[in-house]
Amino acid sequence: MKKEEDYKVSKHNSLVNAKGKYQYSVNQLKLICHLIANIKPNEQDFETKYIALKELGFVGANSENYTYFKEEFVRLLEMPFKIPNSKYWVNWFSALAFENGVIEYRFDPALKPFLLQLKGNFTSYHLSNVMNLKSNYAILTFELLSQARDIGYRNITIKEYRELLKIPDSYRNDNINVMLKKVQKEIRERTNLQFNFAMKKMGKPFHSINFVLLNNKKVAGVTYELVTKSER
């Protein structure tokens, strides 16, 4: 079996920018990323696959916690999202079961153009980066910024950032600023990506966030090399 850090998560940018009604947990996001990384480059269709929970490297992934993981994973079937520039709402999986520590799954057929045989307009990163992160905000921000690695910056309105990360309305802009500082520290310490950010005003209120990606710093246990276009 390949080492975790050798796996690459590759998804069409429409999925990176997809919006839904639900906030995924850290374990749900990591499961989705891990199963996407298990897709082989030559796959042309989705098949039913199996993977043991212990292979995912989750903390507390033992028989005593199987019920907790089962409830969390199966809940994904009730958490659809909308594909950008499409009228369709889809689930990540058309089938998902968890029994005796083994996950049985099959991706939804509607996702084939966004996960299989990708030729352009997609984002790739090493799975080990995501598996090291501890918060869903950090995972989603890492993915959004990985999409911009080729150009080195990303500007996003605060409204869109809220929608993509499912940030509660109770969070004021200063709360988002504090949260982003924590995310910045976590991503810097646990992944191969670093960034600076600045919140920009339009008139008096803050309107957008400007992210600038920095040279990567090697982190223990994380694949350092960027995913090149030839690897994707």
* 19 is a domain residue: yes
Residues 103 and 193 in one domain: no
* 135 is a domain residue: yes
Q: What is the pLDDT of residue 122?
A: 95
* 10 is a domain residue: yes
- Which is nearest to 91 in space by CA: 68, 74, 66? 74
CA distance between the termini of the chain = 20
Residues 196 and 161 in one domain: yes
* 178 is a domain residue: yes
Structural domain boundaries, residue 139 = 130-214
Residues 15 and 105 in one domain: yes
Phi, psi of 196 (to 5 degrees): -110, 160
Q: What is the pLDDT of residues 186-209, one digit of tens each?
A: 999 999 999 999 999 887 788 999
* 223 is a domain residue: no
Q: What is the pLDDT of residues 156-180, one digit of tens each?
A: 999 999 999 999 989 998 999 999 9
Q: What is the pLDDT of residues 11-27, one digit of tens each?
A: 999 999 998 889 999 99
Sign of CA dihedral 190, 21, 152, 147: positive
Q: Which residues contact 143 (CB under 8 A, 6 or more apart)?
A: 16, 123, 125, 130
Q: Domain with 50 in it: what CATH number?
A: 1.10.10.10
Residue 50, judged by CB atoms within 10 A of its CB (0-12, 13-18, 19+), counts as: exposed
Question: What is the tally of structural domains in the chain?
Answer: 2
Q: What is the pLDDT of residue 51?
A: 94
Residues 56 and 84 in one domain: yes
Residues 12 and 103 in one domain: yes
Q: What is the pLDDT of residues 83-119, one digit of tens each?
A: 888 888 999 999 999 988 899 999 999 999 999 999 9
* 44 is a domain residue: yes
Q: What is the pLDDT of residue 155?
A: 95
Residues 43 and 83 in one domain: yes
* Plot region of 190 (φ>0 → left; ψ -120 to 50 → alpha; else → beta): alpha
Q: Which residues contact 91 (CB under 8 A, 6 or more apart)?
A: 76, 77, 79, 80, 81, 108
Residues 107 and 153 in one domain: no
Residues 97 and 135 in one domain: no
